[in-house]
Amino acid sequence: MLTFSEAVKTGKLQEFIVQEEARGVGPVDRAEFDRVLANVIKAPQSEGQTSRSPSRGGSTGKRTRQGNGRHISR
């Protein structure tokens, strides 16, 4: 049995197609395929954006130090 990746690497894509059609694998439903891809593929994050979801209230998640500015280590 020829795998898709082997077929691509060895230039035997046509043989792979014939093999899969003989197994009963038909063409993909293009609309369904596009829908699935749209759910899987995400736009790249903008620079400086973290993967963390925004918190409620619109906070950026960044902390600011309050007080006199002196740091006390424990």
Query: Residue 17 in 3-state DSSP?
Result: helix
Q: What confidence tens digit (pLDDT) does each residue in 19-63 have?
A: 999 999 998 999 999 999 999 998 777 777 676 666 666 666 566
Q: How many residues does the chain have?
A: 74
Q: Determine the pLDDT at residue 48.
A: 73
Residue 13 pLDDT class (50, 70, 90 cuts):
very high
33 compared with 67, residue with greater pLDDT: 33
Question: Which amino acid type is present at position 40?
Answer: V
- C-beta separation of 39 from 52 below 8 A: no
Q: Measuring CA to CA, how many Å separate 17 from each of 23, 25, 27, 40, 64?
A: 10, 9, 10, 25, 59
Residue of 44, 48, 45, 42 whose CA lies nearest to 60:
48
Q: What is the domain partition of the chain in residue ranges?
A: 1-41
Q: Determine the pLDDT at residue 70.
A: 62
